[in-house]
């Protein structure tokens, strides 16, 4: 049953990744077309970011697909790290996009050009609304299934909304300011790149933390220790190590049992601990349990 639940979480993540691809495909086409027709580099840059988001969402989908594969001889702990690798690739794309926008924006600032067309403002308002709504939807799914790559994909949508908002402000200033303010559009694109850099570095740090098996939250660790300690026959918890693998967690735990019971009984208690953790709805998919004898005599 736990494996079936985990499979459904992967499927849900892959579905939202496919929806992200379709949404970005439509919006990138609309923004790039409007940017070319309306003479707005900020809008074109925004459209290029959405175009690259299609690649990012595809990587997320692939990471979840591979991560859902069961353990095999070459990967005894499963393929969950593929999801973290996907998040790392997505963060790299964010940083690449930010760098490209910075370079082009600086070039455009020093090149004379016409002010953007006023209709581009309408396009940007629609984009901001759609992207902000989609950011909230995707982030909610990412948090519910515990997917770092889905949450990084959600931040792509938020970055898109923010860059579109920055472009709106830049174009509005260029139109209201008139002659001499044409570069406001490009300054807006430059500002937006800073937001993209921030999100890219944030996602990179989180992905590296997962790959390097950084310690999990204190709240999750307490839930694991509490569930194990409440298992009949467990006297105490000596050690508890937890690492994230994709959407799931792997637990290594040392339990203390009475030193007066048989090895068979201690083995049975260890299995009870494992079964309790697997059924605890905290996304634990495997438990390695080590049994330690209680060194304090009963009644002491």
Structural domains present in the chain = 2-211 (1.20.1510.10), 218-293 (3.30.70.1350)
pLDDT digits (tens, 9 = 90+) for 142-175: 887 777 777 777 877 777 787 778 778 777 777 7
DSSP, collapsed to helix, strand or coil, labels residue 74 as coil
Name the strands in the sheet holding 234-245, side by side, starting at the edge strand that comes first in the sequence.
234-245, 248-257, 284-293
* Range with the poorest average pLDDT among 58-62, 124-128, 146-150: 146-150
Percent of all residues in the chain with a pLDDT value above 90, rounded to a whole number: 16
113: confidence class by pLDDT, cuts 50, 70, 90: low
| Predicted confidence (pLDDT) at residue 286 exceeds the cutoff of 80 | yes
User: Which DSSP letter does residue 78 get?
Assistant: -
How high is the mean pLDDT of the chain? 80
| Predicted confidence (pLDDT) at residue 300 exceeds the cutoff of 50 | no
* Average pLDDT rounded to a whole number, residues 235-256: 89
DSSP, collapsed to helix, strand or coil, labels residue 109 as helix
What's the maximum distance between 2 C-alpha atoms anywhere in the chain? 90
24: confidence class by pLDDT, cuts 50, 70, 90: confident
**What is the β-pairing status of strands 234-245 and 248-257?**
antiparallel
pTM: 0.65
| Predicted confidence (pLDDT) at residue 95 exceeds the cutoff of 60 | yes
pLDDT digits (tens, 9 = 90+) for 263-272: 999 999 999 9
């Amino acid at each position: 049953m736990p494996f079936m639940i985990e499979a459904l979480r992967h499927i849900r993540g892959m579905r939202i990744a496919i929806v992200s691809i379709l949404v970005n495909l439509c919006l990138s086409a609309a923004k790039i077309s409007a940017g070319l027709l309306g003479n707005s580099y900020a809008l074109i840059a925004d459209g290029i970011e959405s175009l690259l988001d299609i690649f990012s969402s595809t990587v997320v989908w692939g990471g979840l697909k591979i991560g859902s594969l069961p353990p095999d001889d070459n990967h005894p702990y499963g393929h969950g790290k593929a999801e973290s690798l996907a998040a790392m690739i997505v963060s790299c794309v964010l940083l690449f996009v930010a760098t490209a926008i910075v370079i082009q924006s600086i070039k455009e600032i020093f090149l004379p050009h016409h002010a953007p067309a006023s209709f581009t403002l309408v396009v940007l308002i629609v984009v901001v609304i759609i992207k902000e709504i989609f950011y909230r939807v995707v982030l909610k799914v990412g948090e519910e299934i515990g997917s770092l790559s889905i949450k990084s994909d959600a931040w792509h949508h938020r970055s898109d909304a923010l860059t579109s908002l920055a472009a709106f402000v830049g174009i509005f200033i260029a139109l209201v300011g008139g002659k001499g303010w044409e570069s406001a559009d490009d300054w807006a694109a430059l500002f937006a790149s800073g937001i993209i850099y921030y999100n890219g570095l944030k996602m990179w740090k989180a992905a590296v933390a997962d790959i390097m098996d950084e310690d999990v939250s204190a709240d999750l660790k307490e839930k694991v220790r509490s569930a194990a300690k409440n298992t009949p026959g467990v006297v105490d918890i000596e050690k508890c190590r937890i690492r994230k693998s994709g959407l799931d967690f792997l637990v290594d735990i040392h339990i203390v049992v009475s030193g007066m019971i048989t090895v068979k009984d201690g083995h049975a208690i260890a299995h009870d601990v494992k079964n309790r953790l697997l059924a605890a709805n905290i996304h634990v998919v495997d438990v390695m349990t080590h049994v330690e004898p209680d060194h304090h005599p009963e009644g002491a």
